[in-house]
Structure 1
């Protein structure tokens, strides 16, 4: 890969995840403290991510795979998104905020598949080269969290500024997208079917038993993940952790380290063990949160945050590489959209629906909760998913070939 293209893709990944991390981590705290919502409303707000993820494969399959270059679509979506984020930051109540957020996430979630597709199309060996590009997304998320902590927006109760910061970054990425390497649609001019127009061609991947089990595991494990995204920042602020958003960036620092080590782990462990270790880390993380505090067990809070590197890289990045290896050349964008649907879509949709009412049910005061019980619930769900995955998932020739490629 030419150094110029590598730089462009790295900047693209940095801004893609800076935009997301700039407001997503602290939105729960913003809603509870600024707009005075309930836990259920926080869950409904985060649920917009799932709505966007469910729609994403259709947008990608309909447009990016057939009609327009991926980088052009990416630019347009981020420019519109910048306006929506700016307006959301000026919302005075949840009723005004929610429609703006919903529309924004419908436009943003397809961009996750688009940046992956643009990157993979420039690589002859994505398994080896993608982690070095994707890690810049992690750096972007880290910088966003550290910026919020450094500016003390949580302490000053000025988290509306996070949406404005994200809006500026989104506008910049929108403009830069038009300079990215041309990524034309691979299926342009081909006979169009209804399934193809809707991006459903990638569903043929589910005919393979190993990929079907991976897909189902992706859906199930993202149910407990929704608890982390929804309520970690409100939880840490409630128990008294200073600069919680800045501390949470330790998770992305861990992600950065493990991203760089991904090829080595892949070569030694293979697909199944990588995915299983990612799930196990989620179980341990939630147990740490359940029993951690800002006193003697402060290390458990930090440990739960730091485990994010294994939680995310070993499952999500492994899954993206695994999906790319299974997808044919004609369906790479749709395949990335499919895995986005499974994880950020269906799985987290269920998680967002149940996490808010659970947090409300274990509320113990005006602004306090029984966090031990709350966190043990997603820990139990993740443990069940892990055990079923270990029992049912079998590595076939395709999975072993991916491992051999990493070793090579």
Structure 2
């Protein structure tokens, strides 16, 4: 039996937290006097910790043959870390709180991804129907908070976000452990998998895709507010992107039957090249904003679903936790860190348009790596 609602509930609250934190926490930091460089540094700590924490926890989960205890520990300690924001506004205190939050919060998702595929077994194409509830949670959080923060003090964000972390803890407590991976007579080592050209190409391309999204995740809300858009519209734009993502997740079983993982990824990178140019230079136009946000269905929805599916196939059951952790570390960790930090230093010096153009260039580099390194003849399964 697939524990559909327990897994879906966890994704719901996990990404509801993302929907509250990623679009609006930069606005909170701005409201207490933090500079663009300080905001970028603090927000990029999430990416920095994704370089280390997922690999550590993934290695431990594979060694123990258990993922759920680590997911539960992550929920408790990330909530404790976030509580620090309620007690301090000093740069050192904010840095310490963000470091604790990021280290433990980033541990969970790769393990839950591996746990989900473990429960799905031969029904891996149903991943999208579970993961889509994370997108629903993101929408409700980002849209609801857009309305709330138009009339309420920005500090309200902290209490709402703390409650969402509490929801993560509740669902972490009821997640069932997955079946232990079957032992192969001649299992491939992690080094053997990583020596495959297409695996290295995918991970490198994922690094560039996350770097391309750096300015989006750190400064998109600030960008729209600076252009004179209301916070309610900011919420709607984030919501539109995730609605497009939901549509893609729901359609993934049909998409995977018609197109290869490589083809889906190449299309996603091509859309990203165009999308960030539109955001950088056309955000004054509502029509351009809408078009760019619909592109999120490709640049995150299709990209992420195809990426985790490729990792699931290539790394096998015994390396699954480390494979998903490596994917998260290289892409959302290293790539997100580089994209976020670079955008923090270019935002004030060269402006929003050229910062997003740099994001488009990152996506173009990822597209080139994928084309060169993952040949069409390579079998995906």
Q: Above 0.5 in TM-score?
A: yes
The whole-number CA distance in structure 2 between the counterparts of 1:385 and 1:285 is 14
Tell me, yes or no, if the aligned pair for 1:66 and 1:187 is still in contact at 8 Å: no
What are the superposed Cα offsets for residues 268-318 of structure 1, whole Å, 9 maximum, x if unpaired? 221111111111121111111122244xx2211122122111110221221
Counterpart of 1:49?
A: 46
Shift of 1:356: 0.6
Q: Structure 2 unaligned segments of length 5 or more: list them.
A: 184-188
The whole-number CA distance in structure 2 between the counterparts of 1:338 and 1:204 is 14
**Superposition TM-score, scaled by structure 1 size:** 0.86
Select the residue among 95, 107, 111 that pairs with 1:110.
107
Tell me, yes or no, if the aligned pair for 1:35 and 1:94 is still in contact at 8 Å: no
Q: Secondary structure at the match of 2:213?
A: helix
Shift of 1:148: 0.4
Select the residue among 58, 61, 64 that pairs with 2:61.
64
Counterpart of 1:177?
A: 172
Tell me, yes or no, if the aligned pair for 1:82 and 1:166 is still in contact at 8 Å: no
After superposition, residues 243-254 of structure 1 pair within 5 angstroms as 243=232, 244-254=234-244
Select the residue among 72, 76, 85 that pairs with 2:73.
76
The whole-number CA distance in structure 1 between the counterparts of 2:191 and 2:33 is 41
| 1:183–1:357 Cα change, 3 Å | same
Q: Secondary structure at the match of 1:46?
A: helix
In terms of fraction of residues, the more helix-rich structure is: 2
Please tell me the root mean square deviation across aligned C-alpha atoms, in Å. Answer: 2.2
What are the superposed Cα offsets for residues 77-135 of structure 1, whole Å, 9 maximum, x if unpaired? 11222222232144323332121011101101111111112211111235311111111
| 1:51–1:302 Cα change, 3 Å | same
The whole-number CA distance in structure 2 between the counterparts of 1:63 and 1:245 is 38
Counterpart of 1:317?
A: 305
Runs of 4+ in 1 over 4 A off after TM superposition: 184-188
Counterpart of 1:8?
A: 6
Select the residue among 254, 275, 281 that pairs with 2:271.
281
**Superposition TM-score, scaled by structure 2 size:** 0.92
Tell me, yes or no, if the aligned pair for 1:12 and 1:177 is still in contact at 8 Å: yes
After superposition, residues 55-204 of structure 1 pair within 5 angstroms as 55-67=52-64, 69-151=66-148, 153=149, 155-156=150-151, 158-183=153-178, 202-204=190-192
The whole-number CA distance in structure 1 between the counterparts of 2:112 and 2:22 is 19
Q: Structure 1 unaligned segments of length 5 or more: list them.
A: 189-200, 363-369, 402-408
